[in-house]
């Protein structure tokens, strides 16, 4: 076995994910290759360092109120849903009145009526955009990790 071949398997071997047959072959190479042995040893040391590491910081206080903060977030989430529902209802009624009282009223000058049509179109386009964005983030969220 050449070093280049050994290197390909070294990582799997370290993680205990190399099938026994290949592992045996690799071990024979390791027995008389100091360079590959050194690589393996270094990677193993790093693994231990990463496993044992703790960062200190000033976040202990934030961890103390962690649960309360999460509940506050949950409530904010509910508030947002209510807010958007309420907003949608108010907007829909406003549109209804606008159409009934302005668009269909021949006494109102035509620039005003055309302007209103444009405004309604813009609102619809914006709403569709928001909904589509919501759906796409929801999807990629649901299929976590999305294969690629």
- Does residue 4 interact with another protein by CB under 8 A? no
CA 49 to chain centre: 28
33 binds another protein (CB under 8 A): no
Min dist. Cβ of residue 76 to another protein (A): 9
Q: Which stretch binds another protein (CB under 8 A): 69-77, 85-93, 106-114, 119-127?
A: 69-77
User: Using the 8-state DSSP alphabet, how is residue 53 labeled?
Assistant: -
Q: Quick one: what does residue 84 bind among Zn ion, another protein, none, with the CB cut-off 5 to 8 Å set by partner type?
A: none
Burial tier of 129 (Cβ tally within 10 Å: 0-12, 13-18, 19+): exposed
Nearest C-alpha neighbor of 44 from the set 4, 18, 15: 15
Q: H/E element holding 27?
A: helix 20-31
Ranges within 23-52 binding Zn ion (CB under 5 A): 33, 36
Q: Which stretch binds another protein (CB under 8 A): 7-15, 19-27, 86-94, 102-110?
A: 7-15
Which of 28, 35, 62, 123: binder of another protein (CB under 8 A)? 62
Give the whole-angstrom CA distance, residue 67 versus residue 57.
Answer: 19
């Amino acid at each position: 076995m050449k070093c280049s071949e050994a290197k390909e398997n070294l990582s799997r071997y370290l993680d205990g994910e190399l099938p026994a047959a290949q592992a045996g072959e690799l071990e024979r190479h390791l027995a008389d290759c100091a360079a590959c042995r050194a690589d393996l040893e270094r990677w193993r040391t790093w693994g231990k360092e990463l496993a044992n590491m703790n960062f200190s910081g000033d976040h202990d206080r934030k961890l103390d109120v962690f649960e309360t903060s999460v509940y506050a977030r949950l409530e904010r989430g509910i508030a947002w849903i209510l807010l958007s529902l309420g907003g949608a209802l108010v907007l829909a009624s406003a549109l209804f009145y606008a159409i009934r009282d302005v668009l269909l009223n021949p006494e109102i000058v035509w620039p005003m009526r055309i302007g209103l049509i444009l405004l309604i179109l813009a609102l619809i386009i914006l709403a569709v955009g928001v909904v589509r964005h919501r759906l796409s983030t929801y999807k990629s969220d649901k299929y976590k990790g999305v294969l690629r």
